[in-house]
Structure 1
Amino acid sequence: MLSAYLTCGSLFLLSFILVSNAINIHSLANRWMGIFFLFAGFAMLSFVAERSPLRDQYPLLIPLLETTRFAMAPALYFSILHFTQPTTVVNRKHFLHFIPALIFILLLMGLSKYLPRQAGLLVMIGIKLQLALYWIAGFRIVLASQYRSTWLKQLMITVGVMIAVYLSSPWIGPLTNYGINSVLYLLGAGMATFLLVRQRNIQQIPVTVPRLNDKQLTSYKAKLEALMKEQAPYTDPDLTLPGLAEHLEISVHELSYLLNAGLEKNFYQYINQYRVAKAKELLSSVTHQHLSILAIGFEAGFNSKTAFNTSFKKLTGQTPGEFRKVVVRLDTNGH
């Protein structure tokens, strides 16, 4: 049980370091990671309390600690998202990830009495399945992104081992009275602390990609242009290079080469030119005059007012507001 107490302390200390931005780098990503380890600490403390006098002394302690179970996985995912894509802006769609956590809190507040007895087992399976799926999604982001960081991959592997220990605990735990589980958690917490405290800035580096011949470049260009016109994937504010590559059914490296060598643009330059064109269309449209400029930016695929204004002015020489005034004046004058 000593190792379990030490693990709790390690997780809470690591959480404090990350949330307080003591490392002074990747602040938003580290805060999300700190929230993940804080909730992991709650889960560990709940395990300790269930097997100690704390359970009887503080009957509400365990239910309170359990409220964050379904918020752990989204916190980990958002941390990885901000590590690999620092310009990501959290919007309303992202909060959908926390709906299971909200439902779980409502159940703990008293609605569980209306559920069948098997509901507890389903909740436990749901927590484990969610952790596994979100970890896989996060690890794929690390591997598929243009960002390369050995320490971040090692961190995800460390977290993955801790999750694997948790998933296998119903079978391995009882054999050793959960002693080996606690030791593995403690080692994982130590390794995570070591990696996070010594983390370095994630720099984008050139990716060695297979060259495409002229015929392939021409074919992929046509396919990409058709995709942008017919499906308008750029209107998705969460669109990434791997996501666009998946739409095209080509590798990330091939798409990167197509954009850089074939079109002489990076991913964001290419996508934002379509978003600005869409915004100009909406700003000029009579049927969209009731929409605010910010709403039009969101409609075009931008995820923040700053990104919209910056990209629009860079490509047109005007702010969206200035552009709309000119369009309205021209319509009023009839020319």
Structure 2
Amino acid sequence: MLSIRVLKSVLFHFNPAIGKQILQVGLSACFLIGPLLYCYCLHFLGRFQTSSLYRLHLIIPSVLIIVIGIVFPYHLYTQLWGGIFYKLINAVWLIYTVASIYILWPKLSSIKANDWRQDVDLYIVLSIVIGSALVWAAYFFAAYTSYISGALTFTFLMGIGVMTIFLHIQQQRNKTPSPYANKKIADKDAQALIDELEQFVLTQKVFLDANLALPKLAKSLGWSTPKLSQLLNDNLHKSFNDFINFYRIEHAKNLLGSDSSMKMEDLANSSGFNSLSTFYAAFKKYTQLTPAKYKALQGLQHSEIINP
């Protein structure tokens, strides 16, 4: 939506005679920025997937934009769009921005200063929220900042893009090293190593460490990092994340069975996940169900056992 807003400004700047409809498109995009930002934060926290009611934050504003755009087109109601509609758009944008900060706050306050680099996505989400708030301020105080509003929006979009690429490149560098074919572990030796690895993971419960990385696990085992990487990739045919997440999900399933009242955020943290969205994705990958559906299914089975 911010990109559409920038495109509108560019088109209008180079062709002032362009139809008024393009101005309506720009304001309509601004109206949707807030709701989309809020739903983006909900998705990051893993909440958007748990209830279809959250989709109303997208459906209702979209319907309003279409209906109002048809009933009150910009070229016939210029003063209305430049007056009350403009104020309403800014109010909705601000409300949703504040709501986004509110729902992110528990996650932000739980992250220690030295743990921030472990959650690249949180960096990106927080930057988007702060950047959106700054862009809102620039447009809201347009009488004083009109000369920087467009530049600020464009710079923000470019900055987010560059930062996202940079952080993910850094993340890729820290991932499992590529396997070397000429160092493949023989099958006769691999089974003993696999047994040792699985026994160590189960007894030490290292998978509960949200910051666990392949080099750290290799060091705990007294192995080299390439050796552990080879064993996982060539012999178990699994990535490091898949291997560890399997144990985390099994632990989460046990927790759900023993304490059905546990909140999803607590369940994710207790199972070694530092992101609720990562937990939801991993849980569904291994069980084909969301945690909520799995919890409900377990409760139904328990009820059938008690009341056959």
TM (normalized to structure 2)?
A: 0.49
- Larger RCO (alpha carbons 8 Å, 6+ apart): 2
TM (normalized to structure 1)?
A: 0.45
